[in-house]
Amino acid sequence: MRRFTELYWRLDGTTRTTEKVAALRDYFAAAPAGDAACALDVLSGGRRLRAVSTTLLRQWAAEAAGIPAWLVEECYAHVGDLAETLALLLPDPPPADAADAAGSVTADVAGVGLGLEECLRTTVEGLRGRDEAAQRLTVERVWRQLAPRERIVWHKLITGGCRVGVSRTLVARALADVAGVEADVMAHRLAGGDVGDAAGFTRLLDPAASPADSRRPYPFFLASGLEGAAGDLGPVATWMAEWKWDGMRAQLVRRGDDVALWSRGEELVNEAFPEIVAAAADLPTGTVLDGELLAARGDELLGFAALSRRSGRRRVPRRLLEEVPCVFVAYDILEHDAADLRGLPLAARRTRLEGLVGVPCTAGRGAAVPGGAPVSSDVPRLLLSPRLDAGSWEALARLRAASRERGVEGLMLKRLDSGYGVGRVRGDWWKWKIEPLEIDAVLLYAQAGHGRRAGLHSDYTLGVWHEGRLVPVAKAYSGLPDTEIVEVDRIVRATTLEKHGPVRVVQPTQVFQLAFEGVAASKRHKAGVAVRFPRIVRWRRDKSPPDAGTLADLRGMLAAVPPEAAP
Amino acid sequence: MGCYHSVGGEGRRKTERPRMPEDLLTLTDAGLYCSRGDFHVDPWRRVSRAVVTHAHADHARPGCGRYLCAAPGMLVLRSRVGGGSPIDSVRYGETRSFNGVEVSLHPAGHVLGSAQVRVSHGGVTWVVTGDYKLEADPTCQAFEPVACDVFVTESTFGLPVYRWRPPAAVAAEIDAWWRENRDAGRTSVLLAYSLGKAQRLAASVDPSIGPIIGHGSVMKMVDAYRASGVRLPAIERVPPRTRRMGDGRALVIAPPNVAASRWLGLFGETSVAMASGWMTLRGVRRRRGFDRGFVVSDHADFPGLLAAVEGSGAKRVLVTHGFTDAFARLLRDRGLDAAELATRFTGEAVPEAAAEGDDPEADAADADAADADAADADAADADRADADPGADAAVGGVAAGADVPLEEPA
């Protein structure tokens, strides 16, 4: 536990990647395999259940600190992190020898001297499901043994919210160093999540190990947003263009008797998409496809909102399977005949892919499907993302301009001679997205942020005009530079009308330019519309609330034609 | 006497104006004012007579007709407000009378010469703390409790998450960090206010580790401290037009606004640490990406504020800046008559308030860029107040509502 706490603070204490990797390397080289496996799970954001209710923790902390409950809430609103708030509020632990002398604390109940694995089992797992009095006894004993910075980590572990600011890539790099293998190899071994126990961790570090796990995906190759002009990318013939589908990235692994469907977050999503898994059984074994999950009925794209009703489910009811049928649109092949193809140029991979998945996806938004085609098992579920052969950048630009009408997000541009890399490598794959929709909206409520933005009001609720009043239409985290966030925070504090916990209602004085990917009718939202992926582009200090947009403007975008598509 | 408190806002909302003709001090649009004695305490406008608790910019403004301060802070105040106006000084505890109103100054432990202002007349005594801390500080006299009926206190760190560790323990942490950097050939840069904290830190670290270098605005105050008789270790200046300084062994003490400036380029590879009470919070430490954060403040922590309130014996407490609403509410919970007071004091600025991109060396005459910031903010405030006659609330009016002060005071 102490070793892990040390790692946590070393990672927290630096912004330099080299130092983070060094901290991870030191930890993994020294920790016993069982602890290391647990730590890896925590670092990868492995979800664990809450062992004890946070409401109870707050009550007990208030009593231990001798302060009223409302003051704990004030502190939480200011600090922005419950684990940290409680850790700071609790009285300092008594000096170790005093505790021993009093004999009141049995040896090491907090498990600080124990390894992480043991500590999780004895204190974290040991709390779950116990009655309140027993939980309280344990928690208070642990509090007496831990210093504030140890308490923070322990609180995060028992409340199931231990997130550490370190990317998969850095973890992979550190483990690669420890194992003496290439970082790409380690990234692949890590893909697909949990290494399990001590034995799993030992296998992970074995320099000679092969990725024996039949379900293991490859690390995803990621595209970057295109900032310059597409024409600057060189001859159009050296590039392949496709639609940028508005769905969920996924990897379909077919090996042995198994099919595994992995999300971009490397979570197994087989249960949420049973029809795709069933269809994939027809693929030859030793095949891995990269592609996009889409909600589509025949040729009609049902949109991202429909798809999100399917994702994240453990079990999909029959009715939902019929209401929101899904397809997998393949755009790359990573493994064929059990051979890793990632080193081949895209053009060669494409040929193999087309040989395997022949039916192109022609779906678009609002394509007429009379009466709604019944869902039957013979509808092809595995489709090919078609290649858009436009012949010139100008022609591609025209296709891109029609994207929103079609229900896609723009174009993907992939260099035909590029291999399939690991992570985000600029230069070979570009997202050429359509320009977002925009509206000027007025700041109505502000809420203090968390983590890096703790204590600063950086989450804004913005509104537009409707019948002489401002109605909230979007909640957006500030995309502003830090200096502007500080300034807005100052204005928020100075113009607060009401406080509801961490949320402040402000006088409507500030206008922000809001960008979003689309507008959908929504019964759940008071305004009757919901905007997709809203974010703040800039602070319009040159504008005042009367200049802001209206609900009618937003409704007009429901069937939006992007400005550049207008003749 | 009721409790006049609200949930933030800048005094734009209508609140009942308290009528307390017997109050010795009232709040005017220039600051805390004693009408019987005709003087202000820490005014934020130019007034004829200012009694000053200490020389930080949010408490001592230039341009007043006449100043009164505690004798140890005389030279520091002079260097801050300039040479134009006469400054009277009194020893701690010595009483002056203004039209029958007794005024005396008592150590506040905040910076050199910082004082609590005791004002007494007709059997009623008020104490205005200015800023204060209870911890020991080798560069100024320790806080002394002063009995009073009405205690006007700050609450910059008035939430129970703020508890300071013993100064010696923090100094040892700083020494360890400096040593580690020195051994790695990296210059240690410690960001701290030019007046007070910089000198306190210089006097607290172990000078045998390596040379100490002071930024220009720090050195101006170092000179004033030394001239006032405070003993400080040797501190090197950065000569004009220096291109490169130090060999990776030094500790550089500089104001926070150099963090984003080219000035740090003088020292080659650096490790940059911020010394502030706000460094208690992980979010604040991470936000600015400092290499280290040391929890050092010249303000009282939460237990310190409570101890000071208790030590004053006052039944009525007015809370001027910081977490005013929460702190006043807690005092009311504990049976005191407590309310917020809408002053323009700002306390210790959270680190992001430091103006980014400012190169303090580019400013002529060694002026603190931070002072300029405070002055701008002040001007903006003044504009607002002028436009809104409701803003000049009397004592007990609506508080400024700033949970975390964002202006740079020093």
What is the distance, to the nearest Å, from the Cα of residue A561 to the centroid of all Cα atoms in its chain? 29
Token readout for B90 is: 């009194």
Cα gap A33→B10, rounded to integer Å: 58
Query: Other C-beta atoms within 10 Å of A197: how many?
Result: 13
Closest CA relative to residue A388, chosen from A372, A403, A404:
A403
pLDDT at residue B22, rounded to an integer: 67
Amino acid letter, B355? A
Longest CA span, chain A:
85
Provide the strand spans (E) within B205-357: 212-214, 236-237, 251-254, 270-275, 292-294, 316-322, 337-340
Phi, psi at residue A66, to the nearest 5°?
A: 70, 35
Contacts of B234 by beta carbon, 8 Å cutoff, 6+ apart = B207, B211, B212
Q: Are A89 and A75 in contact (CB under 8 A)?
A: yes
pLDDT at residue A521, rounded to an integer: 79
* Chain B CA closest to residue A450: B283
* Chain B CA closest to residue A77: B403
Cα gap B153→B5, rounded to integer Å: 15
Per-residue DSSP letters for A19-59? HHHHHHHHHHHHS-HHHHHHHHHHHTT-----SS-HHHHHH
> B387 in contact with A at a CB cutoff of 8 Å?
no
Cα gap A475→B177, rounded to integer Å: 42
Q: Are B18 and B2 in contact (CB under 8 A)?
A: yes
Token readout for B21 is: 């003709």
CA atoms within 13 A on the CB side of B222: 22
What is the distance, to the nearest Å, from the Cα of residue A146 to the centroid of all Cα atoms in its chain? 32
Q: Are A401 and A238 in contact (CB under 8 A)?
A: no
pLDDT at residue A45, rounded to an integer: 72
Cα gap B261→B143, rounded to integer Å: 36
DSSP for residue A121: I
Q: pTM for the whole thing? A: 0.70
Q: Tell me the nearest-neighbour CA distance from A90 into chain B, angstroms.
A: 9
Query: Other C-beta atoms within 10 Å of A214: how many?
Result: 15
For A65, the closest of B10, B160, B162 (CB atoms) is B160
Closest CA relative to residue B343, chosen from B26, B17, B2:
B26
Closest CA relative to residue B404, chosen from B272, B283, B259, B256:
B283
User: Which residues are registered as beta bridge partners of A504?
Assistant: A446, A499
Q: Which residues of chain B have pLDDT under 70?
A: 1-22, 288, 347-410
R_g of chain A computed on alpha carbons: 27
For B160, the closest of A71, A489, A494 (CB atoms) is A71
Name the class of domain A221-433: alpha beta
pLDDT at residue A378, rounded to an integer: 62
Q: Which residues of chain A have pLDDT under 70?
A: 46-49, 95-114, 192-194, 209-213, 366-378, 451-452, 478, 559-567
Query: Which residues of chain A have a Cβ shorter than 8 Å from any chain B Cβ?
Result: 12-15, 65, 67-68, 70-71, 74-75, 78-81, 84-85, 88-89, 152, 450-456, 482-483, 486, 489-490, 493-499, 504, 507
Contacts of B325 by beta carbon, 8 Å cutoff, 6+ apart = B5, B6, B7, B8, B340, B399, B401
Cα gap A282→A203, rounded to integer Å: 32
R_g of chain B computed on alpha carbons: 21
> B334 in contact with A at a CB cutoff of 8 Å?
no
Cβ-based burial of A384 (10 A; exposed 0-12, middle 13-18, buried ≥19)? buried
* Chain B CA closest to residue A71: B326
What is the distance, to the nearest Å, from the Cα of residue A167 to the centroid of all Cα atoms in its chain? 12
pLDDT at residue B6, rounded to an integer: 37
For A483, the closest of B289, B292, B356 (CB atoms) is B356
Cα gap A60→A42, rounded to integer Å: 26
pLDDT at residue A522, rounded to an integer: 78
Domain ranges of chain A: 46-158, 221-433, 437-565
What is the distance, to the nearest Å, from the Cα of residue A420 to the centroid of all Cα atoms in its chain? 22
DSSP for residue A276: H
Residues of B within 8 A of A509 (CB-CB) are: none
* CATH T-level assignment (fold) for domain A437-565: OB fold (Dihydrolipoamide Acetyltransferase, E2P) (2.40.50)
Phi, psi at residue A488, to the nearest 5°?
A: -65, -40
Dihedral of CA atoms A387, A390, A391, A397 in degrees, nearest 10, equals -120
Closest CA relative to residue B180, chosen from B291, B283, B268, B281:
B291
Cα gap A174→A170, rounded to integer Å: 6
Residues of A within 8 A of B353 (CB-CB) are: 486
Query: Other C-beta atoms within 10 Å of B260: how many?
Result: 16
pLDDT at residue A248, rounded to an integer: 93
Residues of A within 8 A of B12 (CB-CB) are: 495, 507
CA distances to A244, A294, A362, B130 from A329, in Å? 11, 7, 10, 68
What is the total residue count of chain A? 567
Instruction: Spell out a b/e string for B63-85, using b for 16 or more CB atoms within 10 Å of the CB, else e.
Output: ebeebbbbbbbbbbbbbbbeeee
Task: Say yes or no for a CB contact (<8 Å) between B161 and A493.
Answer: no
Q: Are A54 and A23 in contact (CB under 8 A)?
A: no
DSSP for residue B350: P
User: Which residues are registered as beta bridge partners of B399?
Assistant: none
Q: Tell me the nearest-neighbour CA distance from B190 into chain A, angstroms.
A: 16
For A68, the closest of B333, B352, B402 (CB atoms) is B333
Task: List domains and CATH numbers for chain B.
Answer: 26-162+298-391 (3.60.15.10), 167-294 (3.40.50.10890)
The terminus-to-terminus CA distance of chain B in angstroms comes to: 35
Residues of B within 8 A of A65 (CB-CB) are: 160
> B91 in contact with A at a CB cutoff of 8 Å?
no
Task: Say yes or no for a CB contact (<8 Å) between B283 and A75.
Answer: no
Task: Say yes or no for a CB contact (<8 Å) between B283 and A454.
Answer: yes
> B403 in contact with A at a CB cutoff of 8 Å?
yes
Closest CA relative to residue A139, chosen from A54, A42, A39:
A54
Cα gap B143→B133, rounded to integer Å: 7
Task: Say yes or no for a CB contact (<8 Å) between B160 and A75.
Answer: yes
Identify the sign of the CA torsion A554, A556, A558, A562. negative
Token readout for A505 is: 């209602």
Token readout for A102 is: 């009093």
Three-class DSSP labels, B44-82:
CCCCCEEECCCCCCCCCCCCCCEEEEEHHHHHHHHHHHC
Cβ-based burial of A474 (10 A; exposed 0-12, middle 13-18, buried ≥19)? buried
The terminus-to-terminus CA distance of chain A in angstroms comes to: 65
